[in-house]
Structure 1
Amino acid sequence: MTELHAPISLALVNDYPVVTQGIARMLENVDRLKVVERASGENPSHVVDLVLYDAFAARGRGEHDVVRLLEDERNRKLVVYTWHVSEAQVQQALDLGIDGYLSKELGARELADALIRIHEGERVVEPKPVPENIEIADWPGRGAGLSPREAEVVALITQGATNDEIARTCYLSINSVKSYIRSAYRKMGVERRSQAVLWGVQNGMQPKATTTECTP
């Protein structure tokens, strides 16, 4: 195999294993990309060509996590993967020095193509508007019928975030946050925040710090 077409090593980073597992499944049939590690709450332990940082429920840690990953010399290039695509947030991430900013609206083929282009030296930004009925790889709470946005709101509630903090983290209005909370509570069968926190802990909404090496 020539160097030009050598596999591109990829590490997936997010605090929720179900999220990184879902992305790995999306990319498993892409010959050029090889997922070598799924890291939850930690820097990848390998030298990798690309790190794909999924910002699901990152809360206030998001910028800190990006800076930490950028400072690790083992991570040759860093890409942020999110459905929060406001102009201000995109520019903030770019100013930190990331190599790509990708919307979760991208399908598996588009995501893989963008990652390959980033590896080859292009700074790719594809912040397309993200629809409410987005279908991404996976997320905690999906089995209970929570949408991706509802799930992120519940995950942040489980972490102790206030409605104002959720609004800032997710770039939503406070009324939108309250609407997502009401609809999520109906699906979860809870009425109070304390019940939602307990439900979240019992249903995988608590971040986990683990690192998984992927088999060749």
Structure 2
Amino acid sequence: MTVVGVPVRVAIVNDHPIVVAGVAAVLEPYADRVRVVEIVTGAEVRSEVDVVLYDTFGQDQGDGVDLPTLVDDGRAKVVVFSWNTEPDLVERALARGASGYLSKQVTGQEMAWALQQVAAGAELRPQDVGDSALPEVGAWPGRDRGLTAREAEVLALICAGLSNQQIAERTYLSINSVKTYIRTAYRKIGAGSRSQAVAWAMQHGFRPERVRVLRPTTRDPRSG
């Protein structure tokens, strides 16, 4: 149960340190309302949190998300943070245990508000939060080299050994869209082949890691 006046405790989950750190930075100005107490890559959440924010960058998406593990028998509510906001995908995620589903085109303020609402018991869909039509929030590998978030995600999945068809299925993109992202990403990083792209990516932050960062917090009234 959320205590009035106490920040919502949030864990951010993704396999790429740059991604989780970027989302945490977006929420930092709203720490009086939403406090990130753990950022996790490649591991399960261990902190006592109110909400787990699952970032889908380079991860299993849609029905592939392991929601039962993230929910952990009701210990925390789960919010999926994704570009893929097709209504049927959203509804299936909610039916499987998610409490909220956010578009990556939200502001930090909208994200903080949504996490507060979910912690208080609301079930949120993308249209409940609004679509600011802004560039994606946060950070991702290769952003400093001009890669868009989608180009970076496709490159991350190439590094994971997925074929173009598997990437399309994972990201819910058409095969032609995947090929377009690959071409534009290769051009930006100067790669002429898949092996060159993988070599470049592994040197520029695309390697998944197992990292857990616990953030110090003040005494919480919920602890008794």
Partner of 1:27: 27
CA-based RMSD of the aligned residues comes to 2.1
Is residue 13 from structure 1 mapped to residue 8 from structure 2 by the alignment?
no
Alpha-carbon distance in structure 1 between the residues aligned to 2:194 and 2:85: 28
- What residue identity is the alignment partner of 1:102? L
Partner of 1:164: 165
TM (norm. structure 2) is 0.88
Alpha-carbon distance in structure 2 between the residues aligned to 1:162 and 1:83: 20
Question: Contact 1:55–1:80 (CA<8 Å) still a contact in 2?
Answer: yes
Question: Contact 2:167–2:178 (CA<8 Å) still a contact in 1?
Answer: yes
Measured after TM superposition, the shift of residue 140 of structure 1 is: 0.8
Measured after TM superposition, the shift of residue 62 of structure 1 is: 7.0
Alpha-carbon distance in structure 2 between the residues aligned to 1:149 and 1:60: 14
Partner of 2:80: 80
Partner of 1:63: 64
Alpha-carbon distance in structure 2 between the residues aligned to 1:110 and 1:174: 32
Measured after TM superposition, the shift of residue 60 of structure 1 is: 6.6
- What is the aligned length? 213
Q: Evaluate the alpha carbon distance shift between residue 55 and residue 74 of structure 1 in structure 2; reply closer, same or farther with a 3 A threshold.
A: same
Alpha-carbon distance in structure 1 between the residues aligned to 2:177 and 2:26: 30
Question: Contact 2:12–2:36 (CA<8 Å) still a contact in 1?
Answer: yes
Partner of 1:52: 53
Q: Does the residue aligned with 1:42 lie in a helix, a strand or coil?
A: coil
Question: Contact 2:107–2:132 (CA<8 Å) still a contact in 1?
Answer: no
Measured after TM superposition, the shift of residue 87 of structure 1 is: 2.3
Unaligned regions of 5+ residues in structure 2, if any?
Answer: 218-224
- What residue identity is the alignment partner of 1:214? R
Q: Deviating runs (4+, > 2 A) in structure 1?
A: 59-67, 127-131
Measured after TM superposition, the shift of residue 92 of structure 1 is: 2.2
Partner of 1:126: 126
Identical pairs, percent: 42
Q: Deviations over 1:43-67 (max 9, x none)?
A: 1111111110101110479724323
Partner of 2:199: 198
Partner of 2:107: 107
Partner of 1:98: 98
Q: Evaluate the alpha carbon distance shift between residue 10 and residue 60 of structure 1 in structure 2; reply closer, same or farther with a 3 A threshold.
A: closer
Question: Contact 1:10–1:36 (CA<8 Å) still a contact in 2?
Answer: yes
Q: Does the residue aligned with 1:78 lie in a helix, a strand or coil?
A: strand
Unaligned regions of 5+ residues in structure 1, if any?
Answer: none
Alpha-carbon distance in structure 2 between the residues aligned to 1:194 and 1:130: 37
